[in-house]
Amino acid sequence: MVSEPITATTPRPLRHTLLTQWGRDLTCSTAPAGSDSLGRRGVVFLSLEATRLLPVLVSRQWPRIPYTWSKMSMERDGAAAAGTEPLRAGEQLTYVARRRWPAPRGARSRITVEVGETIQNSSERGAFLTARWGLHTRTLTGRARYLPNAHRAWTLREATVLELDDELIAATGLPRPSGPPESVLVTDGVPVLFGGPLAPPPT
């Protein structure tokens, strides 16, 4: 998996970015199998739980990303954690979220995973889920927009689900999952730069 570097020839919308401090976040998103007519692959966010209200309010208006305001916490091996230390194989991570606004208020999620070993060579599925250089969204009038992003390659680890009690997927309108996840990956995370929206492909 190779990240697209930001260089002097990178399109202007990708180099001029707005950086906002979100606090913690938890995302329900889809990774479409195809791309638009310009070959652009991206993520479609269905909901993004975040702990800070002002960025949530701003992003719901522009660039129309469905952030929601939530109370969230993270534990590492049973103790509250800031999440800044590198992950260790064998440790347990617990993420808890409870939505404050908008509806359905009170929708919650609690997930505990055990961290595995670092994946040296990303699988085809791992690359498909993480090597995406933009997101798809819509304007107030319903027109499609694509927001490019850039980040270095993710360092992924295998993980095992120990506890999963989730209402957030169903809160997006999708059916409640009937079985265990098919893929579980964890990461220390990477900084991501988002650019301004690009015009939709010609029709």
**22-60 pLDDT, tens per residue?**
467 888 888 887 777 788 888 899 999 999 999 899 989
Tokens of 123: 């699988």
Alpha-carbon dihedral 128, 130, 131, 133, rounded to 10 degrees: 120
3-class secondary structure, 57: helix
Q: What's the confidence (pLDDT) of residue 192? A: 81
Give dist(CA 130, CA 42) in Å, integer. 10
Nearby residues of 12 by Cβ (< 8 Å), 6 or more positions away:
195
Closest to 140 measured CA to CA, from 61, 87, 24: 61
Q: Give residue 15's pLDDT band: very low, low, confident or very high (50, 70, 90).
A: very low
pTM for the whole thing? Answer: 0.81
Give dist(CA 151, CA 5) in Å, integer. 8
Mean pLDDT over all residues of the chain? Answer: 82
Give dist(CA 201, CA 144) in Å, integer. 9
For the chain, give every domain's residue range.
21-194
Q: What's the confidence (pLDDT) of residue 7? A: 32
Task: Give the number of other Cβ atoms within 10 Å of residue 146's Cβ.
Answer: 21
Q: What's the confidence (pLDDT) of residue 115? A: 95
Q: Give residue 3's pLDDT band: very low, low, confident or very high (50, 70, 90).
A: very low
As separate numbers, helices (DSSP H) first and strands (DSSP E) second, the chain gives 4, 11
Q: What's the confidence (pLDDT) of residue 157? A: 92
**97-112 pLDDT, tens per residue?**
999 999 999 999 999 9
Q: What's the confidence (pLDDT) of residue 107? A: 97
